[in-house]
Amino acid sequence: MESLVGRHQAAVARLLWRFVRTKADLDDLVQDTFLRMVRGMPGWRAKQPFEHWLLRIATNTGRDYFRRQAVRRRWTVERTTAGADDESEPEAPDPGIDPAARAAANDVKMILAQLPPDDRALLTLHHLEGWGLAQIAAQFGWTLTATKLRAWRARRHLRTLFQAKGLP
């Protein structure tokens, strides 16, 4: 089990970083993914590659995180500033990373945070991770047509949000 964790943790962390803005949240989601993996191990069928199965667990963990955030947001005091929608403060940039890339990623995540959770998960994977719509549909168990329609609506919503935001 530990060798599986060691082999796949980097890929899982890389994917889940697209869903979060802080290292603490990243560690939580990565742990959650691997705990789900341990619990779901007897249900894994060898007909699908292990990594695909694990990444499906990771994307579902990310989507559940968005859903929890949306529920929490609904029940907390109304916030007027759009940026405060995402509860966590962005991670302070490490010296080794590209600060412009981190700033851009934080801006994109902040705008995506205003979408409904499923749309947010879809566009996070599509825009930030570069996944195709067919792959996303397969991951979430949606039909391709429904995914295309959802993506079209989400992009339209996103364009409005981006224009309203007036980012440089």
Partner 1 sequence: MKTPRPDSDSRWEKLLRQAQADAGPPADLTALLRAVRQAPPAAQAGWATEFTALFSSARIVSGCLAGATACALFTTWQVWDSWQALPWAQLLITAAGGEP
| Selected range binding partner 1 among 15-23, 50-58, 131-139, 146-154, rule: CB under 8 A | 15-23
Find out whether 13 and 25 touch, Cβ atoms under 8 Å: no
Which of 83, 76, 81, 39 shows the shortest CA–CA distance to 57? 39
Residue among 34 and 63 whose Cβ is closer to partner 1: 34
SS3 12: helix
Residues 6 or more apart whose Cβ sits within 8 Å of residue 16: 26, 29, 30, 33, 58, 61, 62
With binding defined as CB under 8 A, does residue 27 bind partner 1? Answer: yes
| Interface pick for partner 1 out of 57, 58, 105, 137 (rule CB under 8 A) | 105
Q: What is the rounded CA–CA span in Å between residue 63 and residue 139?
A: 11
13 near partner 1 (CB under 8 A): yes
Q: What mask, x for binding partner 1 by CB under 8 A, covers residues 29 to 68?
A: -xx--xx--xxxxxx-------------------------
Look-up of token digits 């530990």: 2
> Taking the complex as a whole, how short is the minimal distance between the CB of residue 9 and partner 1, in angstroms?
6
Using CB under 8 A, which of 10, 71, 84, 146 touches partner 1? 10
Quickly count: other Cβ atoms within 10 Å of residue 62's Cβ: 24
Assign 95 to helix, strand or coil: coil
- List residues near partner 1 by CB under 8 A: 1-2, 5-6, 9-10, 12-14, 16-18, 23, 26-27, 30-31, 34-35, 38-43, 91, 94, 97-98, 100-105, 107-109, 127-128, 130, 159, 162-163, 167-168
